Amino acid sequence: MTETNLIDGRWVGADSGASFEIRDPATDRVVGRVPNAGAEEARRAVDAAFGAFSAWAARPAVERAEVLDALAARLISDRDELAALLTEEQGKPLSEARAEIDYARSFFEVSARTCLSIRDESPSVPGKKVRVHRRPVGVAAAITPWNFPIAMLAKKMAPAMAVGCTQVLKPAEQTPLSAIALLERAMDSGVPSGVLNLVTGDPSAIGAAWLQDSRVRKFSFTGSTEVGRLLMQGAATNLQRLSLELGGHAPMIVFEDASVERAVDIAMAAKYRNGGQTCICPNRFLIHGDLHDRFVSRLASRSAGLVSGRGDRPGVDLGPMIDDAAISKVESHVADAIDRGAEVVTGGDRRRVEGLADRFFAPTVLTECTSGMRCWTEETCGPVCPIRRFEDEDEAMAMANDSVFGLASYVVTDDQERIRRLGDELHTGIIGVNDPGPAVASVPFGGVKHSGFGREGGRWGLEEYLELVTVSTIEPTSV
C-alpha cells in the first residue's frame, strides 16, 4: 500500500488502500503512486491539526522560527534532488524547478523573520487601556495547484506555521509527489506531529469535509475561479476565513517610449516561464502603434527559437503542458482566435518532439486580436501571445482593465509620471513596471475582482492567519 499521506505525524495510506498514478507529463512514464483518500481521512487530518494547535501556538515565536529556518536550510541542501522530482512530475525545465525551490525557501525565511516582529498594539482611548492582540486563527486548510507545486504550498505553510496555526493540506492530483517530499523535509526539520497534515485524493470530498468542519477556521486556496467560488459558497456554513488566489489574465502594455529589445526581453521572461502555465504571466499584449510591427517581428523570432522538450535535458526552454486537457484548451483558444480573424505570426499548433508525449505546444504569436476572442477574455495557460495595438494611454488602460480578472499586469515605460499614475489606474493586485518577475516573498501577492482576495508574502501574508482581539480594560483607579 502507498503510505504517503501525513496524519498526526504518521505516514499512512487511504483507508480503502486505493491509490492513483502520477505520470511524467513529458514521457507519460509512471513516476509514483499516492493514496486516493477522501472525507474520512480528511476529517482525521483535522483531528490531528486541532489536537496539535494549542501546543504549537503556545511555543515562543522564536522557536517556531527556528523550525522554519531549519526547513529553509533543507531546501538549500536538497535543492537539486527536489528540483529533479519537480521536473519529473510537473515538466518544467530544471533551471526553473531550482528557481522554484529557491522561491519556496524564501517564504520560510521571510516568515521566520516576520513572525518575530508581531506585537500587540495599544491604541489610545480616553479612560481605558486598550490592547489589540493578534492570535493565530487555529486550523488552516490549504489547497494548491499543479503549476508551482512546492512554492504554492510553501506560500501557505510558511506564514501559517510561523504564527502558530496548524494545517491540513491538499496538493493537486497532478503533482502530489513534490508536496510529499516537502512535508518529509518539514518533519525532519522539527515540525511536531499534527502541525502539518497532508491528504491526497478526491478534491471535492476532501474540500467538502474541511468546509463542513467548524474546527477549520481558514481556507487558503490557489487555483481556478470556478473552484474558488465553490469554496466561498461552502465556507458560508462555518464562516471560515478565505484567501483566494484565482485565475489571472495579465495585460502587458508596451508604451511608445520603450525600447523594443527590452520590451521583448521582458515579454519572453514573463510569458514563457513554466510554458505560460503561470497565473501571473501576460495573457494579452497591448503594444503602442509606433512599436507594434517591430515588437511583433522580434517577439515572433525569439519565440520560434525556444526549444521544447523534457525539462531535465540541457538547453530546453519549454516543457510539456501539464495534461491533455491543458493542451486541448490552448489549442481551442488558438483555433477560436484564428476563426475570428487573428493572424498567426509564429506557432499556432502542437509541436511534435521525437519520442515524447503529444503535449507540447509551439510558442505562438497572434496579431489582429479582438476583444471577442477567448484568448482575450479567458486564461489560456499556455505559450500563446495574443497582440493588439493601441494609440494612447487612455485606450491602453481601458483595454487592460476590460477583464473580470485582476491579478497582475505589466508595463514597459520609463515615463515617471505615468508610472506614478499606474497604481490607481490599472486594476490589478500586482503591477510589474519593466519587471518580468514582480512576485517575491517579502511583498504582497494577490488579486482583485475575479482573481480573488487575500495576500501572500511578507507581514501581509502572516496577517491572513491572525485574528485581532481587542482587550479593553477600565482600570480600578479610573472607575
Positions annotated as catalytic residues are 245, 279
Nearer to ligand ADP, 159 or 207 (CB): 207
| 201-213 as b/e: b if 16+ CB within 10 A | bbeebbbbbbbeb
Contact 213, 46 (CB under 8 A): yes
Rg (CA), the chain: 23
Q: Is residue 69 near ligand ADP by the rule CB under 6 A?
A: no
What's the N-to-C CA distance of the chain in angstroms? 67
Nearer to ligand ADP, 146 or 390 (CB): 146
Compute CA distances 316 → 93, 282, 320, whole Å: 6, 21, 11
Query: In the set 90, 144, 274, 409, which binds ligand ADP (CB under 6 A)?
Result: 144
CB of residue 453 vs ligand ADP: minimum separation in angstroms?
16
Q: What angle do CA 24, 25, 29 make, to 5 degrees?
A: 40
Contact 191, 67 (CB under 8 A): yes
Which span (50-58, 203-211, 409-417, 423-431) binds ligand ADP, by CB under 6 A? 203-211
CB of residue 393 vs ligand ADP: minimum separation in angstroms?
33
Which span (141-149, 261-269, 433-441, 445-453) binds ligand ADP, by CB under 6 A? 141-149
Q: Is residue 143 near ligand ADP by the rule CB under 6 A?
A: yes
CB of residue 8 vs ligand ADP: minimum separation in angstroms?
22
As a whole number of angstroms, the distance between CA 291 and CA 226 comes to 37
As a whole number of angstroms, the distance between CA 104 and CA 179 comes to 12
Q: Is residue 27 near ligand ADP by the rule CB under 6 A?
A: no
Query: In the set 32, 145, 406, 436, which binds ligand ADP (CB under 6 A)?
Result: 145
Which span (65-73, 140-148, 357-365, 388-396) binds ligand ADP, by CB under 6 A? 140-148
Q: What angle do CA 141, 142, 148 make, to 5 degrees?
A: 175
Q: Is residue 20 near ligand ADP by the rule CB under 6 A?
A: no
CB of residue 332 vs ligand ADP: minimum separation in angstroms?
15
Residues 86-125, one symbol each (x = binds ligand ADP by CB under 6 A, - = not), give: ----------------------------------------
Q: Is the dihedral of CA 169, 446, 106, 462 positive or negative?
A: negative
Nearer to ligand ADP, 39 or 291 (CB): 39
As a whole number of angstroms, the distance between CA 64 and CA 70 comes to 10
Q: Is residue 203 near ligand ADP by the rule CB under 6 A?
A: yes
- The one-letter amino acid code at 242 reads L
CB of residue 143 vs ligand ADP: minimum separation in angstroms?
5
CB of residue 153 vs ligand ADP: minimum separation in angstroms?
10
Of residues 205 through 264, those in contact with ligand ADP by CB under 6 A are: 207, 223-224, 227, 230
Sheet holding 139-143, edge to edge: 10-12, 5-7, 196-198, 166-170, 139-143, 216-222, 241-245, 452-453
Nearer to ligand ADP, 176 or 386 (CB): 176
Nearer to ligand ADP, 194 or 247 (CB): 247
Cell reading at 82: 527536489
3-state secondary structure at position 104: helix
As a whole number of angstroms, the distance between CA 411 and CA 419 comes to 9
Per the listing, cell 483607579 goes with: 477
Nearer to ligand ADP, 277 or 428 (CB): 277
Nearer to ligand ADP, 22 or 365 (CB): 22
Residues 151-190, one symbol each (x = binds ligand ADP by CB under 6 A, - = not), give: -------------------x-xx-----------------
CB of residue 187 vs ligand ADP: minimum separation in angstroms?
21
Ramachandran angles phi, psi of 35, nearest 5°: -60, 140
Residues that bind ligand ADP (CB under 6 A): 143-145, 170, 172-173, 203-204, 207, 223-224, 227, 230
